[in-house]
Every structure is written in structure tokens, then in C-alpha cells.
Amino acid sequence: METQLIGFLGQSILLSSYGEPAVHTVEDGEAISETADDTGEVFLYNIQNNTREDEAFAELSIEGQMCIKFKIDTGAQVNVLPLQYCNKLPIKPSLIKGGHKLTSYCGSAIPYAGISHLTCGYKDGKTQSHAFYIVRSNTTPIVGLKTCKDLELIKLILNIQKENRTTSAYSKLVNEYEDTFEGIGNLENKCKIHLKENCVPTVYPARKVPLAMKQKLKDEFDRLEALNIIGKVSEPTDWVNAMVMVEKKDGSVRLCIDLLI
């Protein structure tokens, strides 16, 4: 099953060894070393304060009091909001202690004041209550995968069918000249074959045919001659190729020349 995220480049969703949700990125310039006694760990892929052209952002209404620009991170399974934004809200949200320990992949812990359930909404859409990790560092706010889906910031397509342009062009050509590609054709004009310079003509002797296959060989010769695909040669010729006969599943034979000798 394939998954495509519309509106943003999907990232890998990582899980800690405890099976707890992971956050893909939190951006911050400061080093962090605080730890806490928690039930699990949430790993953060990167801590930086840079923006790139391939990043996507959405402005969400928080508690109906403030609009905050969040980074859409489909690799994150939790939402992250810096404490400085909470302090700007007219009505301060309540914080719940505990939760999981946020840890960067370099091993340092990311401190947070607690978890707050905040009402958020996008444009004129429905508002919902989601959990936010309130971090103490000055980072870019992040909205994770679940919240992105719930607020319809992104859509998941579970089945992708990519059109093969080469196959499509071939099908178009065959359909346009359908009569040309049906049955066995016959080129009316003569074909000139260019050989290597100083090429010496070669005559290979006829190969032995098993007695049980002789009638099948004769029947195939007669069929090809009737279709004007081959013709009898009654006089000496400079070139004679060795023949290869292959029996097909239906019992008939396929004839071709041996080009490997």
C-alpha cells in the first residue's frame, strides 16, 4: 500500500523503543540537557532554527484568542508549542505535568513545562481540542500528523496509480494504426541489408531433424510459404544460415535462424 500526502512532502514517522509517538522536528538554536521521570520518550529528529523552501506552514486559531503560524510536520505524532505563545494568550491555559520525555536524536532532552489541551481551528473549519507539548525553548510551533488530518490540512491517498507515459504513447500508436498491428504483415518494398566491409559469405550445412519432428517442420514450412513469409530457393546461394526449431506449448514449432554462430 502506498501513501501520498497532498500539500506537503511526507516524512518518516519514527517510534521510540517504548512504542511512544515521535516528533520529527523541533527547531531551536539552544542546547538542552534537562531530563525528567516520565513513562516514555518522544524523539525529535532535529533542533534548528532554519526555514527551507520545501517546508509548509498553516495559521491556526488557538483558543479563539490568537492566530499562530504552525509548521506542518507529517512526521510528528505530537504537537509542539513554545511557552512564550501561551504567555501571550489572554486566558492562560492549564498545564498537565508528566507525559513523555522529549529527546533529540543526539541524546539531549528537550524540556517542556507540561501538556495543554487547546482548542484549535483552521480558517472557517471546525474547531477541535488537541494536546500540545508546551516547550520552554524558543522554537517554531509544530502541528503533527494526527492534528493535520483532523483539521483537514492534508489528505492521505492510500492508492497511487502512476501513469506510464511510455506505455500510454505505445497504446495510442497501436490504437491509431490498429489494422497495421493485426496479424502478420508483409513489407512490399525490398529491404537492403548492409554488411561489414570485406565480409565473407558463409554456407552452413543443414542440421539434423529428429524423425518425430519432421512432419511438424514440414507443416510449418508449408504454413509460412502459404503466408508468403518464406519462399523456396531452387538454386545455389552465397548465404545459408543454420536453422533453430523450438517446440511451443501447443505442440507446434517456431522456426528461426541461429545468429550466434
pLDDT digits (tens, 9 = 90+) for 13-32: 333 333 444 454 444 433 33
Of 112 and 2, the structure prediction assigns the larger pLDDT to: 112
Dihedral over Cα of 196, 208, 233, 229: its sign: negative
Q: pLDDT value at position 219?
A: 94
The model's pTM is 0.46
Q: Which helix (H) or strand (E) holds 220?
A: helix 211-226
Q: pLDDT value at position 32?
A: 33
Q: Supply the Cα-derived Rg of the chain in whole angstroms.
A: 36
Q: pLDDT value at position 227?
A: 86
Tell me the percentage of the chain whose pLDDT exceeds 90: 27
How far apart, in whole angstroms, are the C-alpha atoms of residue 6 and residue 62?
24
114 has a pLDDT exceeding 50: yes
How far apart, in whole angstroms, are the C-alpha atoms of residue 46 and residue 106?
9
How far apart, in whole angstroms, are the C-alpha atoms of residue 72 and residue 80?
11
Q: What is the DSSP letter of 226?
A: H
How far apart, in whole angstroms, are the C-alpha atoms of residue 13 and residue 27?
17
Q: How confident is the model at residue 254 (pLDDT cuts 50, 70, 90)?
A: very high
Mean pLDDT of 96-105: 70
Contact 145, 25 (CB under 8 A): no
How far apart, in whole angstroms, are the C-alpha atoms of residue 145 and residue 205?
73
Mean pLDDT of 152-160: 80
Contact 1, 157 (CB under 8 A): no
Taking the CA of residue 198 as centre, how many other CA atoms within 13 Å lie in the half-sphere pointing to its CB?
0
228 has a pLDDT exceeding 90: no
Q: Of 84, 109, 99, which is closest to residue 131 (Cα–Cα)?
A: 99
